[in-house]
Amino acid sequence: MGKLKTKISLITSVLAIITLLVFAFQPGKEKPESLVKLNALVTFDGKKFMVSNNDTLDYLNAEMTVNGYYKLTGFFIVSLCS
């Protein structure tokens, strides 16, 4: 009877470890990207563009694409409005 209990506890432990490993290495659901139109003012001084956020929201980890070709990623656009 003691050997049966040992086998059952061993099998239960192995199944529990396998279950935990399956859940631990399962890829998480990624949040879908959302496209939000930025209320901004863009000025060009002859050498560089200046993009000013005219919205009341700050944009974190933002991505900006110009003409579908130039892409800037991973920056913060802070609101200057109060």
| pLDDT by position in tens, the chain (length 82) | 678 888 888 888 888 888 887 777 777 666 666 677 778 888 888 888 788 888 887 777 777 777 777 777 776 666 666 5
d(CA 41, CA 19): 53
pTM of the predicted structure, to 2 decimals: 0.41
Q: What are phi and psi of 75, to 5 degrees?
A: -125, 170
d(CA 39, CA 57): 10
The amino acid occupying position 75 is F
